[in-house]
Structure 1
């Protein structure tokens, strides 16, 4: 006899069969795993490119064949491109194949145009009041377009700076502050990371950190208006509280945006300031022990006190 209870039990069993991982087709599981691995390969190329297949396999703990399968697939799709690099170690031999993200690959990672367009429209609306009427027609002064691009760039990066400034100001060490800034860039879709340069160099002033961005959401706009790269560089300098230098930009054709942060030079300057302060403190203490207070030196016009020993006094008399 057929009952409602048996029908419900059958439906529950079917539901469990659908929700159970065992019901997923093996082909679908393989494709999902392949997609996840490919994303890991792509992300590492973004962060470390130009990078070789061997280095990718070592980093991801994959076989060379597995890595090359993903690299070949993404190269055929136009997401990656190959750069032949000749190193000193290889000499005049066969160049090494290194992989970087192509411009098409950058576009597949997404572009942050919506917020930028909204800001542009607001600026254009506000700037319409500054137009002047000449000879019965409406015209804007010469240089209005570059000024509008500069204003748009300032507005765009001002949003990042306002959100990040308070957090970065609490980090005193420049290396740590640069690392945190790279993380903030990464969270906003710029694929930020850092590279340490010259850390084995005995000269402290030669040590530096490279702040890198593997993806630029506004690459095409920055290529047309380089002022965006300039404004971003100025923002980085203010957030790190140090003079930085831009080494490369994706807008100019590089595969990664790189900013030179003179960590060693700043550490050396801090050490010199600390030594100078310690020396001044030591001189002040010696003067105090000789009976000359800081106040008395100010009253005497800041002249240096010469202390003569009794033996030197006998020779002079």
Structure 2
């Protein structure tokens, strides 16, 4: 029995799976094919097929993972992150228009106007998230978890993991020297193009995170500066107390 060639169901399912793989890389990158397969409940060969297509399309970049010596002389593990084209594929077209509008605002009114606009925009998100973080209580980790959930819901592909000596931070990572805490990551930024030219958006967001979490956070990396993820270090309250007692 021949299936009519006009049916588009397999192609639609294939496209949806491809989009799921791309989104998962945005949220978890750098990530290996095996980890993606586990995350998406797919086979590794199926994931590798989509990874090849995404790489050929210029939407993701391949990187070599630092591997343990137990791998011997086997083929080095590979991980994947979104490319510049991949970030743009997840962005809406308004980002380009917004950048032009900001250039006009800066030229006509000045940099201070851009800063106030950035603070106003981020302030809306801060107001939106404030109740959710308040409901999480005073524990820093719980508040970070609530912020991650809110950011992910709004398309920022957020995640968090403990960092520092007591949590096995990788050598050469961006953890703040001498402190343990939480690394908050954002795999997607809807205003990445604008933030590249106008860092006021990154500054305003960092300040908002500090107020929402109740601790002084430090921005370590940004998509706007060419990193594969926005990274913010959130010290725990216990570490802050220790730091303060040594001054």
Same fold, TM exceeding 0.5? yes
Taking the aligned partners of 1:84 and 1:191, their CA distance within structure 2 comes to: 23
Taking the aligned partners of 1:163 and 1:220, their CA distance within structure 2 comes to: 24
The answer as to 2:200 corresponding to 1:219 is no
Equivalent residues, number: 228
Taking the aligned partners of 2:229 and 2:4, their CA distance within structure 1 comes to: 40
Does the aligned pair in 1 maintain the 2:33–2:79 contact within 8 Å?
yes
Does the aligned pair in 1 maintain the 2:143–2:213 contact within 8 Å?
yes
Equivalent position of 1:162 in the other structure:
127
167 and 92 in structure 1: CA distance in 2 versus 1, 3 angstrom threshold: same
Q: TM-score, normalised by structure 2?
A: 0.78
Task: Please provide the CA RMSD for this pair.
Answer: 3.4
The equivalences for 1:163-202 within 5 A come to 163-170=128-135, 171-198=137-164, 200-201=166-167
The answer as to 2:14 corresponding to 1:49 is no
Taking the aligned partners of 2:211 and 2:72, their CA distance within structure 1 comes to: 42
Does the aligned pair in 2 maintain the 1:86–1:94 contact within 8 Å?
no
39 and 199 in structure 1: CA distance in 2 versus 1, 3 angstrom threshold: farther
Measure how far apart 1:252 and its partner are: 0.5
Equivalent position of 1:104 in the other structure:
85
The answer as to 2:224 corresponding to 1:244 is no
The equivalences for 1:138-149 within 5 A come to 145-149=110-114
Identify unmatched segments of 5+ residues in structure 1.
1-22, 128-138, 274-317
What CA deviation, in whole Å up to 9, does each residue of 1:233-266 have, x standing for no partner? 1111111110111111000001110111112xx1
Measure how far apart 1:93 and its partner are: 7.2
Measure how far apart 1:79 and its partner are: 1.3
The answer as to 2:123 corresponding to 1:152 is no
The alignment partner of 1:261 has SS state of: strand
Equivalent position of 2:174 in the other structure:
none
Does the aligned pair in 2 maintain the 1:80–1:99 contact within 8 Å?
yes
The alignment partner of 2:220 has SS state of: strand
Measure how far apart 1:96 and its partner are: 2.8
24 and 46 in structure 1: CA distance in 2 versus 1, 3 angstrom threshold: farther
Taking the aligned partners of 2:243 and 2:187, their CA distance within structure 1 comes to: 36
Equivalent position of 1:262 in the other structure:
235
Does the aligned pair in 2 maintain the 1:86–1:92 contact within 8 Å?
no
What CA deviation, in whole Å up to 9, does each residue of 1:124-149 have, x standing for no partner? 5xx9xxxxxxxxxxx97xxx632222
Equivalent position of 1:64 in the other structure:
44
What CA deviation, in whole Å up to 9, does each residue of 1:157-213 have, x standing for no partner? 1111122223322322211111111111122221122222348559xx853211111
Taking the aligned partners of 2:98 and 2:8, their CA distance within structure 1 comes to: 39
Equivalent position of 1:36 in the other structure:
16
Taking the aligned partners of 1:110 and 1:201, their CA distance within structure 2 comes to: 34
Equivalent position of 2:172 in the other structure:
none
The alignment partner of 2:138 has SS state of: coil
Max radius of gyration: which structure? 1
Identify unmatched segments of 5+ residues in structure 2.
169-177
248 and 92 in structure 1: CA distance in 2 versus 1, 3 angstrom threshold: farther
